[in-house]
Structure 1
């Protein structure tokens, strides 16, 4: 009985803590996302983001975190599909998973740069961030192209996952481009 009561309080405390994590203001998200490449995706992903976001810089960081999370999951998913793929698709699947893993690395470097923006090196840091997110987008596009090169069709589940990732990443690049000071 005591264990049940203890468990109940742990669950209650966790749910109270989880609901105490602020989400970004809907106004900030809508204003920031209105001219994004994929505005609906931008609003949907960032309005449900759990974490403190009250500035455009924090929103850009949140967008990168969302991209990192989605890219990590996509890479793991692609790796798991390799076992089921036919011989022709296995190589494309492996390359695609590797390219998405490279995207994760680029996005992590971007997040690190955005966390450390300084007045004296702001333009240089922004150039780095923009380059890395652009490279991540290129990796995502190249991932899908690899299936066509082996004469196969891109499996619809792979195309959907990678295309969604590219939309989220494109929106993150847009939000980074909107930053104008450290």
Structure 2
């Protein structure tokens, strides 16, 4: 009877611990990844990082490597949404000629960025981290160049929020890729 009770206790305890092992580490990985990213790059906001990664339900069961791919896909999704907005604004009759000129430049930049991001996914899966760094940095530069295009024609940008988001996600991606690279060596 005592052995049966002890066995039941050990079985319940091991089941409880296995639940924590499944749930806690992944939540911990996301939080720790964002903590490390914010420490590595002072421009990365911990809360932004955590909210961005947690916006993808797959992050709840993700490894560090998975978080890298999730962050790349977040950059892609946001760049794609930004391009859609740009194209809508270009077609809007209330958009001024100066805005259209800046938006057309942004459209080219974001079209190129989306092509780059498709390559980034392949490079990441093949662990070509130097290529990932270069291309993610290029996507971030394209968003910054889009923003500058509005300043160049002397008008406020209508895409500041979107450009900042793509740049912020790019910074998170670079940090995560760096962590993944450190763990693969």
- State the TM bucket, normalised to the shorter chain: 0.7 to 0.9
Q: Does 1:164 align with 2:165?
A: yes
Take 2:46 and 2:144, find their aligned partners in 1: how far apart are those partners?
20
Distance 1:171 1:98 in 2: 24
Q: Write out aligned runs for 1:111-126 (5 A).
A: 111-117=121-127, 125-126=128-129
Q: Normalising to structure 2: TM-score of the pair?
A: 0.76
1: distance between equivalents of 2:62 and 2:156? 43
Q: Would you say the 8 A contact 1:38–1:171 is kept in 2?
A: no
1:148-159 alignment runs, 5 A limit: 148-155=151-158, 158-159=159-160
| 1:142 matched residue in structure 2 | 145
**Could you state the TM-score of these two structures normalised by the residue count of structure 1?**
0.77
Indicate the structure with greater helix content. Answer: 2
Partner of 2:120: 110
Q: Deviations over 1:32-77 (max 9, x none)?
A: 0113222211100112312375321111011001110111011111
Residues 62-111 of structure 1 show CA distances to partners (whole Å, capped at 9, x for unaligned) of 10011101110111111110123211111100111221222222222111
Verify the 8 A CA contact 2:106 2:146 in the aligned structure 1: yes
2:50 corresponds in structure 1 to 43
Mapped contact 1:75–1:98 kept (Cα < 8 A): no
C-alpha separation between the residues in 2 aligned to 1:97 and 1:80? 11
**Aligned equivalents of 1:64, 1:175: Cα separation in 2:** 10
Between structure 1 and structure 2, the one with the greater Rg is: 2
Please tell me whether residue 61 in structure 1 is matched to residue 79 in structure 2. no
Preserved CA contact (<8 Å) 1:92 1:150: yes
Structure 2 Cα separation of the partners of residues 70 and 82 of structure 1: 18
